[in-house]
Amino acid sequence: MTAQSATVHRARTGGPRDDGPKIVEHLMGWALVVVVAMLVTRLGLL
């Protein structure tokens, strides 16, 4: 078995896909930033 044939049969482990919707990831990232910023300001940590 060569290295190339070994990589072909490798199962996916649930990592990020190359063809996924980038805009959804971008929006979810910014939503997380906004939620963390609101939490920090509400708790008076800033």
What's the pLDDT tens digit per position in 2-44?
Answer: 656 555 666 767 766 666 678 888 999 999 999 999 999 999 9
Question: What is the amino acid identity at position 45?
Answer: L
Q: Which residues have C-beta within 8 Å of that of residue 46, sequence separation ≥ 6?
A: 40
Q: Is residue 36 part of a domain?
A: yes
Torsion of CA 13, 19, 22, 24, to 10 degrees: -70
The domain total for the chain is 1
Within-domain flag for 17: no
User: What is the domain range of residue 26?
Assistant: 22-46
Instruction: Give the pLDDT score at 40.
Output: 94
- Is residue 42 domain-resident? yes
What is the predicted pLDDT for the residue at 8?
62
Residue 45's pLDDT is what? Answer: 83
Confirm whether 26 is domain-assigned: yes
In a domain, 13, yes or no: no
Residue 14 falls inside a structural domain:
no
Residue 2, both tokens: 């060569």
- Predicted confidence at residue 3, as pLDDT, reads 59
* pTM for this entry: 0.53
- On whether residue 38 sits in a domain, the answer given is yes
